[in-house]
Each structure stands twice: as structure tokens, then as C-alpha cells.
Chain A
């Protein structure tokens, strides 16, 4: 089986990160799997991790009292799930449900925050990586709310 540092190095998210940091972050990683329909996390729960999806698909859901459970986004292989662990109050804003069998690397949020606090260069690098993910999602969300298909 591949070591976590090998796996992290190959992800798009950590591409190009210095090997010593990859090694350091590997200490915060663990393997997780979710069966179809199983929740990765639910709206309002404590946000203690983010996930790098290795295989499968996860749906981000929001509960609407009138229309029921609505899917607002789906994430697939090699995409990053979750950034609520980064900012207080560290609570998930949406629910995330595995659509099909999903395997991911869970990165422990508390462990990452501690490492970032004690090494701001790493913290800044990680923030920049999350900023790219957030900007991409924001852009896509804007198009979604614009109802671009007319």
C-alpha cells in the first residue's frame, strides 16, 4: 500500500508542495470510505476535517423545508471537500452524502491548524491552495445562481 505522503503528493490539491511539508501533513491523514447514501458529514456538525476524494462522488446537500433535500453541488475524484474546518465556528454549513461508494483521504483539521499556526509559511501556502478552490467554486456558484441556461 502507498504511504500517505506518496498519495498526497499525487493529488492536484497538494501538487508542488515541498516534500518536507507533504511529509508533515501526511501525519494528519487517514483513509476513509463511505457507502452509497452514507453521510460524510451533516449540516451543523463540528467541522474537524477536509477530504481529498480518491474515488467516487459526494453530493453537497441543503435542506429546504418546502422542497426537501436539495443537491447544490457534486464533487468527484481528485476534488477537495470541505473548508469549514479552517474558520470559526468550525461547523459544516451543508451536508455531504456519498452518491456511490467513495474512498477519500481525511485530513484532520485540528492537526492541520496546529501545524499551520506553528509554521506560517505552511499556513500561507495552504491558505493559497484553499483560496484557489474557493474562487473556482464561487465562480461556478455565480453562474449557477445566474441561471445561465436561460
Chain B
């Protein structure tokens, strides 16, 4: 929390003003998902952030949306976001090219408990685009590998074509100190991996449930069922962290747009211990 406040003091001098960044590189991750590498400039020579935090990205003349930072916190000279094109703003963002400008406000929000997880086994469970907000935490844990027990990544996505960060996953797979299991909802017979939802990977994943911190990111239904399955394995609910998504406007706790039960996701979240939201997640239309 202290660390987070420091980031906010340093960077969000005026959290309501968007600063233009140049697009340095565009990576097509899949048919609907892309990564933008933004080059800090002006007063932003670097862009420090905590894993799990997000920025408000403004596509000029179209609109502003919250997108998590997906880059490496150890390399703050590059600001990286991975986005799935689903609607007006994200589709306009997909059309941007190298050299174009995009507005950035942030970083905002709470962080994955990377420090708190020291000494524990760490299980990352990602669903679809949810791998992007988890990637900075993975980078940070891997950068201090000896401080953690087992590290496991369980990743579920729709089909083999939807797998994000493919070459990086392959590189990580060749490490002996990280277990990666990928599963897809459907595939043709060329696919040699798992088929089935990501929750099916939990019962046999190699971690010690009582000594585990789990970080879960994906659509809400997936996170709910993942948390249930982790609890079935014996992971305490306050050791399970999830990242929530709600529509946002100000991202600074003023407008109330992102209210979820008693909390504002832009300010108190998006990362929460599961036990804090458990009862609200089960309610309809919250």
C-alpha cells in the first residue's frame, strides 16, 4: 500500500489529465488482441507501476477506457498494454499505428500481492485476456525466483489460436522452476495440449494449498468458479486474490461509476482478496 501511494504521488500529479504517449511498437497477439508498447516522453522518462495497476487510455476523439499494464515492472522505460478489441474504443485503439499518439492517465489501483507472497507457493490462474494483467506479477516473481516456493501458471483460453504471449510462454515452459499448464475450450486434433476449462487444472496442479497465494484474473464467472475450486483444494479464501472489472470514468474515486457493493474498484481495487468480495460476487446485478 505504501509503495502504491508512492507511485500515485510520483506520477499522478494531475490524475485527471491525460498525457500523450507515442506508440513505439504494435504486436498482434491473436486475431482480436494486440499489445501496444508506449514510449514515455516529456515528464515521463520512466513509468514505474506496481503489477496489477491499470491506466486510463484515451483514443483521441473516441473515448477513454481502463486497461491494465501488461509489461515488466523492472523495465519502466516502456509502458505496455495488451487489449482485446471488443467495442468502440478498443476497436479504434486496434487501428492505431506506430508513431500515433494515445493519452495516458495513471497508474491507478491496487496491486497483486507479490511481496506478501514471498515464502509461499504462487499460483497464477488466468482466463483469456486475464493473462495480460497477471504478466507483470509473473515477471516480478520470476525476477526474484528464490524468494518463492513453487510457481504455477494455469491458463485457460477459448482455442489454441487465442493463446496470448505464445513465444514467451514457450520460453517460460523450458524453465525448470516454473510449471505452466494451458487448456483450451475446444481444438482440432492437431492440438496436443489440454482441452477443458481452466478450473479442471486446479485439482492436480503441483502446489501446497495451505502454503499458497493464488492470483486469479479473468471474467467474473471464471474467477468465481476458480476461487471455489481453489478453496476445495484447501487454499484459504484470504490467500486468493482476484482482479475486478467495472466500467470506469474518473478512475480516482469521485464519480461512483465503478462502485461494487461497498467499494470503488478504481480506488480500492481492482485487485482484492477474494474473501472481501465473496458475498457480493454471488449477488445478481451488483
Give residues in A with beta carbon < 8 Å to B.
57, 59-61, 67-74, 76-78, 97, 99-100, 139-140, 143-144, 146-150
Main secondary structure of the interface of B (DSSP, over half): mixed
Is the CB–CB distance between B195 and A71 below 8 Å?
yes
Chain B residue nearest to A79 in the complex (CB): B204
Is the CB–CB distance between B188 and A143 below 8 Å?
no
Report Cα–Cα, A72/B200, bound state, in Å.
Answer: 13
Is the CB–CB distance between B158 and A149 below 8 Å?
yes
Is the CB–CB distance between A68 and B189 below 8 Å?
yes
Is the CB–CB distance between A149 and B200 below 8 Å?
no
Residues on A with beta carbons closer than 8 Å to the beta carbon of B193: 74
A129: min CB distance to chain B, Å:
16
User: How many of B's residues come within 8 Å of A, CB to CB?
Assistant: 31
Give residues in B with beta carbon < 8 Å to A.
84, 86, 127-130, 156-158, 162, 183, 185-189, 191-197, 199-200, 204, 218-219, 221-222, 225
Report Cα–Cα, A59/B189, bound state, in Å.
Answer: 9
Is the CB–CB distance between B196 and A67 below 8 Å?
no
Is the CB–CB distance between B187 and A70 below 8 Å?
yes
Residues on A with beta carbons closer than 8 Å to the beta carbon of B187: 70-71
Chain B residue nearest to A37 in the complex (CB): B189
Is the CB–CB distance between B196 and A74 below 8 Å?
yes
For the complex of A and B, 5 pairs with smallest distance between CB atoms: A149-B128, A143-B197, A148-B222, A74-B195, A71-B195
* Known contacts A140-B199, A144-B197, A148-B225; 18 further A-B pairs (Cβ under 8 A): A59-B189, A68-B188, A69-B188, A71-B188, A71-B195, A100-B192, A139-B225, A140-B196, A146-B221, A148-B197, A148-B222, A149-B128, A149-B156, A149-B162, A149-B185, A149-B218, A150-B86, A150-B128
